[in-house]
Chains A and B, each alone.
Chain A
């Protein structure tokens, strides 16, 4: 391309690449299914149905509106796991591209996170439907939901950077991470009330970043109140710190090329 191309249009070009990569991921994901992208909406709904059926019997007395309680957590959690899991392998999957094209490597994890985010937007359709079905009243606190999601995305991005770099150098991370995710999920209070747990575990859960995002999202979507200042601090600090670390990882590590 022209060498006198300025920075701005280059960024535009990168955005175009990311968009093309995202559309590829999405098309690929559903290329063999009849319903295609409808699955992005159906999946959270079905999962909600199953989990609600099983757990509402156990917790329904302590959680009002269990399906919404679960769904709020589930879509946030799903955004995080899908993004970090797919972004982790992005550099290795696109190894051929990396070796031949001069693109900033960050583009690949970003594209994967973006894909997960688009998927999340689809699942929001399901979420809104469920909010209407369960007659959750609109409330001005809901305005905060996008802010919380934005912070979650930043956090996810940071985790994805770290994982991507770690995976490029050390393939076993993938398996280790899947175990860690299971533990993490159970510590995120997706389908149970935190109150039933003993103090030690409660403390851990309160410090869990994902739980903070999920709890804040519930706070403003279900209970019509602001997240506490503590929660805001945790959310912002986690997002900023993890993103910073991830970015540093990328900056310092990516100059080393992959010899395998």
Chain B
């Protein structure tokens, strides 16, 4: 019932979320604009020795391949290693394996003490999906060598030890002739290198992680939504229940005669009669059933937008009240689907009624249903233990009674067989044997257990139920057979379509029930 409400809201939230994600995803296509190729520094100054120049290729998205040309003045610098040089004055570097950033070191030897400059040109980057972009880079980077300081020079940030290329570096790099860093380049587990890798990753534009954070926030929103919806639905339900209660009160006060009124007061003040072991007080149970339920999400959305989700309130139980006294055997009768089993579930405490209440010592009640927790994949022996444990037998008790159970169920030789291979009669016989192999509880509730197995087994089971009844227990029997009721009960309650038709002597009630049935058909 209220679950439908949840669905409505959660679907809305999910839709919004998908929208946000899609919008985020679309912006990811801007590739070239976010790609950046530059030198490691804005200017370089070197003494006369071999020196490295760092070239960085960075993008927001994985780069398929890249190719960059570094132009230098061959009269001032001599190319050493780090790329491919086919003509003097141009060094090409290329590569790409779907990382988002690359750092390449190119090594030069100075020839003259002179200021010169390096330029990036012919930059071609393809994205992962194969799209090709030509990129223009910044202006030339000044390089001053030795004494010849042409321009104000910044501190060189790319010093040797941290100068290490990332682990994903191309193998060509290791062929360099520069000695000092070679050893360090290969031991990639060196913490300094991991540190460096982290630094490189940190330098990336942060918006990659925006998606992660967005996802987390989205989840947070959804969870918060659920909580809010939950609270709202519960409140709504409470309010409704209160309304029902108020209505009942009003109608009761209007309708009830003085006698009835006194009785009601008595009931509301709790168990006044010590003899009454179960007191069902004005119990209602309503179920909400969707009229022509939407079977697709689209349909559902359209309907919920139009507020066309109609519900019908099914009154499974409508103002049922009766008392059960100590030692009584009460039969509940009614046609199929008239709410008998629902009533038993409420009495045994497994369900809470929409309104009204049941006063009974729940600890003393034992609901007897067949095959509770039977598992068809297990053998009969395993099921006896499982079922017994669930009903409340101890292991020792089952060990002790095991043979008796098997004998009563007449299943000797079948106990190692899986229950799924049993006939339905065998299953119910086993269920009955387990369920009744016990000390009689104070209050016993039997849900259609008296029509089990073949004729001979039925006689046997009837006998056992009779024993239980005669041992002084209070018994509540549900049945749609008047026979059972007439034979066993001292009192009968007839419920028809959720409405309490009659309470009283089994004979009169059964007669009325039969008359009603025949008149109907």
Report which A residues bind B (CB closer than 8 A): 1-3, 9, 12-13, 16-17, 19-21, 23-24, 27-28, 31, 61-62, 94, 96-103, 166, 169-173, 176, 180, 183, 195-201, 204, 255-260
Contact A172 B10 (CB under 8 A): yes
Contact A62 B194 (CB under 8 A): yes
Q: How many Å lie between the Cα of A1 and that of B440 in the bound state?
A: 8
A101-B390 contact in complex given A23-B382, A28-B377, A260-B3, C-beta closer than 8 Å: yes
Contact A259 B367 (CB under 8 A): no
Counting from the closest, the 7 A-B pairs by CB-CB distance are A20-B389, A99-B350, A17-B389, A257-B352, A31-B377, A20-B386, A61-B188
A2-B439 contact in complex given A24-B378, A96-B372, A199-B202, C-beta closer than 8 Å: yes
Q: Does B375 sit within 8 A of A, measured CB to CB?
A: yes
**What does the 1/0 interface line of B354-397 toward A look like (CB < 8 Å)?**
00000000111101010011010110001001100111111100
A201-B287 contact in complex given A20-B386, A101-B391, C-beta closer than 8 Å: no
Q: How many Å lie between the Cα of A198 and that of B164 in the bound state?
A: 18
Q: How many Å lie between the Cα of A87 and that of B194 in the bound state?
A: 41
Q: How many Å lie between the Cα of A27 and that of B378 in the bound state?
A: 7
Closest chain-B Cβ to A194's Cβ sits at a distance in Å of: 10
Q: Which of B167, B194, B209, B215 contacts A198 (CB 8 A)?
A: B209
A residues in contact with B189, CB < 8 Å: 61-62
A residues in contact with B132, CB < 8 Å: none
**What does the 1/0 interface line of B209-246 toward A look like (CB < 8 Å)?**
10011011001001000100010000000000000000
Q: Does B111 sit within 8 A of A, measured CB to CB?
A: no
Most chain A C-beta atoms within 10 Å of own C-beta, residue among B189, B363, B441: B189
Q: What are 17 contact pairs spanning A and B, CB under 8 A?
A: A3-B364, A3-B442, A20-B389, A21-B389, A23-B386, A24-B375, A27-B378, A27-B382, A28-B375, A31-B378, A94-B373, A100-B345, A169-B3, A176-B222, A180-B219, A195-B198, A259-B352
A residues in contact with B6, CB < 8 Å: 170, 172
Contact B378 A28 (CB under 8 A): yes
Contact A100 B372 (CB under 8 A): yes
Q: Does B349 sit within 8 A of A, measured CB to CB?
A: yes
Q: How many Å lie between the Cα of A27 and that of B420 in the bound state?
A: 14
Most chain A C-beta atoms within 10 Å of own C-beta, residue among B167, B194, B216, B389: B389
CB nearest neighbor in A for B372: A100
Q: Which of A16, A24, A102, A103 contacts B395 (CB 8 A)?
A: A16
Closest chain-A Cβ to B64's Cβ sits at a distance in Å of: 19
Which size bracket describes the interface of B in this complex? 35 or more
Given A16-B394, A201-B212, list of 20 further CB < 8 A pairs?
A2-B439, A13-B394, A16-B389, A24-B375, A24-B378, A28-B377, A61-B167, A62-B188, A62-B189, A94-B373, A97-B372, A97-B390, A101-B367, A102-B349, A172-B6, A172-B7, A195-B198, A199-B202, A257-B350, A258-B351
CB nearest neighbor in A for B351: A257
Contact A21 B386 (CB under 8 A): yes
Report which B residues bind A (CB closer than 8 A): 1, 3, 6-7, 10, 167, 188-189, 194, 197-198, 201-202, 204, 206, 209, 212-213, 215-216, 219, 222, 226, 230, 287, 345, 348-352, 362-365, 367, 369, 372-373, 375, 377-378, 382, 385-386, 389-395, 438-439, 441-442
Q: Which of A2, A3, A100, A256 contacts B352 (CB 8 A)?
A: A256
Contact A24 B386 (CB under 8 A): yes
Q: How many Å lie between the Cα of A195 and that of B1 in the bound state?
A: 49
A169-B194 contact in complex given A21-B386, A198-B202, C-beta closer than 8 Å: no
Closest chain-A Cβ to B442's Cβ sits at a distance in Å of: 8
A residues in contact with B349, CB < 8 Å: 102
Closest chain-A Cβ to B98's Cβ sits at a distance in Å of: 13
A101-B373 contact in complex given A3-B363, A199-B198, C-beta closer than 8 Å: yes
Contact A198 B201 (CB under 8 A): yes
Closest chain-B Cβ to A169's Cβ sits at a distance in Å of: 7
B residues in contact with A3, CB < 8 Å: 363-364, 442
Closest chain-B Cβ to A189's Cβ sits at a distance in Å of: 14
A residues in contact with B438, CB < 8 Å: 1
B residues in contact with A24, CB < 8 Å: 375, 378, 382, 386
A residues in contact with B7, CB < 8 Å: 172
A200-B209 contact in complex given A16-B395, A61-B167, C-beta closer than 8 Å: yes
B residues in contact with A19, CB < 8 Å: 389
A residues in contact with B375, CB < 8 Å: 24, 28
Contact B3 A97 (CB under 8 A): no
A residues in contact with B363, CB < 8 Å: 3, 102
Q: Which of A9, A21, A102 contacts B362 (CB 8 A)?
A: A102
CB nearest neighbor in A for B445: A100
B residues in contact with A12, CB < 8 Å: 394
B residues in contact with A9, CB < 8 Å: 394
A17-B194 contact in complex given A176-B222, A199-B202, A200-B209, C-beta closer than 8 Å: no
CB nearest neighbor in B for A101: B390
